[in-house]
Amino acid sequence: MEVQELLYQMFMSNHRFKRRLDEARSRLVWTMTARSNIKHLLYNARKNAEKVSQSADPTLWRERAPSWMRRDYWETLCNIWAAERWQQTSTIMKVNRAADLEANMHTGGSVSFATHQSRLEKELKRLPTFQEVFDRTHKKKGTDQYISDRAREVASYSQQMTEKYAGEDEQPQLDPEVTDALQAQLSQTLSQVISQALSQVSIPPQAAPSTSAQASHVPSSGGVGGDEHEDEDS
């Protein structure tokens, strides 16, 4: 079993959803959140190794593996980071992020998904769908345009899930706890879960990049190693 699937099954062992549509959407949120968090963990690990070794050469980081990662996985990642192809990709991604400042934005501010749902419910005088709340928080004010390509991709995926499970609900709804609780819990515990999972599963060293929790059915961003956080240097 792949690490990503094992982590999700561990998460699902403590959570249940009333409708398959809710579970399908929770998987999207889980995957995107896990992918973001593992890349952030890897970014911090790289920066710490660079600081301790006083070198930007990844081949000199092999002795600086983080406590939550197996040594052979870390060495494999160091080899990947040192490769010219990865260095070129990292540079390209930095340029792309600088040109797409809206990639990680939404229009909801610091207000939670649940609060936006409650406000929209009062406005519509009915419980809004997940899509309606997402549109409210990811479209430019006063327009029908999504704020980024990523938002459009997520909206498209959500619509596909709605159509796929249309027979189960006339107007599918998503409990706000599905989004808020998932994001809050994963942000706090993902590093511990990854550590536990990696100690339980035997995966060849060359498979280590699969821990980035990327999935073909959800919008993709960045590459191995969390280089989407490179702008934190500034």
**Could you report the per-residue pLDDT of 31-78, keeping only the tens digit for each?**
878 888 888 899 999 999 999 999 999 999 999 999 988 999 999 999
Report if residue 74 sits inside a domain: yes
How many structural domains is the chain composed of? 1
Residue 234 lies in a domain: no
Q: Which of 28-42, 149-163, 182-196 has the highest mean pLDDT?
A: 28-42
Least reliable range by pLDDT among 37-51, 74-88, 123-137: 123-137
pTM for the model:
0.50
The residue segments making up the domain with residue 173 are: 3-10+20-218
Query: Do 151 and 28 touch, CB atoms closer than 8 A?
Result: no
Q: Is residue 230 part of a domain?
A: no
Query: Greater confidence, 8 or 167?
Result: 8
The answer to whether position 90 is within a domain reads: yes
In three-state form (DSSP H/G/I as H, E/B as E, the rest C), the secondary structure along 9-29 is HHHHCCCCCCCHHHHHHHHHH
Domain-embedded: residue 43: yes
Query: In what helix (H) or strand (E) does residue 39 lie, and over which residues does it extend?
Result: helix 20-53
Question: In the predicted model, what is the mean pLDDT of residues 176-190?
Answer: 48
pLDDT score of 160 more than 60: yes
Is 39:47 a contact under the CB 8 Å cutoff?
Answer: no
With H, G, I as helix, E, B as strand and everything else as coil, classify residue 1: coil
Angle, vertex CA 29, rays to CA 23 and CA 34, nearest 5: 120
Residue 15 lies in a domain: no
Amino acid identity for residue 231 in this structure: D
CA dihedral 57, 58, 60, 63 (to 10 degrees): 160
Residue 167 falls within a domain, yes or no?
Answer: yes
Structural domain contains residue 232: no
Check residue 6 and report its DSSP letter: H
Q: Provide the pLDDT for residue 98.
A: 66
